[in-house]
Amino acid sequence: MKLSFSTLGCPEWSFSEIVSTAKDFGYDGIEIRGVRNVMDVPRIPQFSPENAPETKKLLAGKGLEIICLTSACYMNVPDYTQDTIYQAIAYVDTAQDMGVKYIRVLADFGPQIAQPVDGEVVLGNLKKVADYAACRNVEVLIETNGYFADSKRALTLVQKAGDNVGVIWDIHHPYRFFGESPAQTVKVLGGRIKHVHVKDSKMADGKVGYTMMGYGDVPIRECVLELEKIGYGGSFCLEWVKRWNLSLEEPGIAFAQYAGYMKKL
């Protein structure tokens, strides 16, 4: 089992601290969603074209890889199409420079459906990014998020978008917001699942409260077992949303607990 964590969980850490912690806790990789106050990954100094070779050498020496460059490029916003495409293309270029296989874009705003989504707008934008990425050995991933946390909608979208478009299965959202069992989600998405976000939570007064692993009721073990059945070889990434919720446990605690929990499954 390959383990990684998103830098969303350690918003105050330097890149050096992120790398050292991943190595010390026995992780295999890191998903980059900002470093300190720089959320736009192509602007992170370590990933610039001139610094990329040295950063890749550092990571290789630690036995680590960058799993995914995770953007906030929303494919569902027609008013800012050119800006969105430009930003997503910058992520593709950075991924190519760094030898990273995946970038993430989003097809809806939040975990839950807040407003209708124009699927044709999403598809049009996604195709433009995917076509650019296809020539650069980069795959574009959408997340099971919002309207597309419904796995059938997500599958329809990626099938139309192209062969180099896949899915990040955020195991929380289809289960929590659409009542999908892990078996249902994996049956629908199958080999289109390229990367996995792991969260746990419990409901209180109609609201989601994120917890450390095993303290909520998300069927994490079942998700892992279903993925093993289809030969999933990607990473299981802790998406600890500390950047958005400072009341959550500190990253050192959460990252250590996650690694121990997953290795015992």
Low-confidence ranges of the chain (pLDDT < 50): none
Predicted pLDDT of residue 80: 72
Domain positions in the chain: 2-69+148-264
Give the residues across from 141 on adjacent strands.
104, 166
pLDDT, position 146: 96
> What does the H/E/C string look like for 142-163?
EECCHHHHCHHHHHHHHHHHCC
The total of other beta-carbon atoms located within 10 Å of residue 39's CB is 17
How high is the pLDDT of residue 47? 98
CA distances from 232 to 1, 76, 140, 246, 247 (A): 9, 29, 18, 32, 33
- Would you state the structure tokens that stand for residue 36, as one six-digit string? 């300190």
Query: Which neighbouring-strand residues pair with 5?
Result: 30, 238
Phi, psi torsion values for 209, nearest 5 degrees: -120, 115
Q: pLDDT value at position 256?
A: 98
pLDDT tens-digit map of 1-37: 999 999 999 999 999 999 999 999 999 999 999 999 9
User: Which CATH superfamily hosts domain 2-69+148-264?
Assistant: Divalent-metal-dependent TIM barrel enzymes (3.20.20.150)
Residues whose CB is less than 8 angstroms from the CB of residue 124 and which lie 6 or more positions away in sequence, other chains included? none
State whether the Cα torsion 251-10-110-235 is positive or negative: negative
